[in-house]
Amino acid sequence: MKRTGIIILLLLICNSASAQLFTKERVKNQENFDKDLLTWGYFLGFNSYDFKFEYEEDLKDVMVQTTLGFNVGLIGDLRINDYFNLRLEPGLYISKRNLQYDFATTNPSDLFREVNSTYIHFPLLLKASTKRINNFKPFIVGGLSTALNLSSNQDGDDNSAGKFRTKKSMLFYEVGFGIDFYLEWFKFTPSIRGVFAINDELVRDREPNSPWTDNIASMKTRGVFINFTFQ
């Protein structure tokens, strides 16, 4: 009986908390925030980049080891109406990926390549929000972006000299979701976004029949961003 009473009490508490959160009118923080035509802010976050490979022949895959990277940037937000905003989010994205090959060689170091990327990232996004519920508002976001990779080594030495080359300029499409939280002094927004390259990022080796690049038909970046925005 005691256990049953505790369960009933917990259900009543959860039901009451749900009603408070979603239905009861509460004091609104930053009540006029979304009425401004232009708003500004900044973000901090993390990224995890990967590569999607397509091959010329059915040989052993290139294995990708991902690492956790860092994001920082600015936000400019243009209000279209109560539900749609146009956003520009230029930022710096730093990451590293390790490639593990599997081919016959007398030098074990030939089977490992470190790919460092320092992207200057320029996304143009459309944000579609729900109606504000008390002090929070869920949304989805999507759009196109371009990036300049400062660590691409595009015109430098290739794999015969131990260097892996990627293109400087990239195009992406992005989709994600998040929640705006209206706090007393500012708006805080955690969000998660998937990023997918449109163009091939690989720069082929100058050497014919290169074991590092010859069998790769395309190599496209894909990644996940977790950002925390302050406006």
Residues 35/77, Cβ–Cβ less than 8 Å: no
Q: Is residue 174 part of a domain?
A: yes
Q: Is residue 5 part of a domain?
A: no
pLDDT score, position 26: 64
Domain housing 129 = 31-230
pLDDT score, position 168: 93
Burial per residue of 98-120, b for 16 or more beta-carbon CB atoms within 10 angstroms, e otherwise: ebebeeeeeeeebbebebbbbbe
Which residue positions in the chain have pLDDT lower than 70?
1-27
Q: Is residue 6 part of a domain?
A: no
Q: Is residue 220 part of a domain?
A: yes
Q: Is residue 26 part of a domain?
A: no
Q: Is residue 23 part of a domain?
A: no
pLDDT score, position 12: 44
**Domain CATH number, residue 133:** 2.40.160.20
Question: pLDDT tens, 185-204?
Answer: 889 999 999 999 999 999 99
Tell me how many domains the chain contains.
1
Question: pLDDT tens, 124-171?
Answer: 999 999 998 889 899 999 999 999 999 988 888 888 888 889 999 999
Strands 112-129 and 84-88: antiparallel
Specify the pTM: 0.82
Q: Is residue 18 part of a domain?
A: no
pLDDT score, position 50: 94
Q: Give which of 84, 49, 87, 52 is closest to 70, Cα–Cα.
A: 49
Residue carrying structure tokens 């917990």? 10
Q: Give which of 41, 178, 190, 66 is closest to 116, Cα–Cα.
A: 66
Q: Is residue 88 part of a domain?
A: yes
pLDDT score, position 158: 85
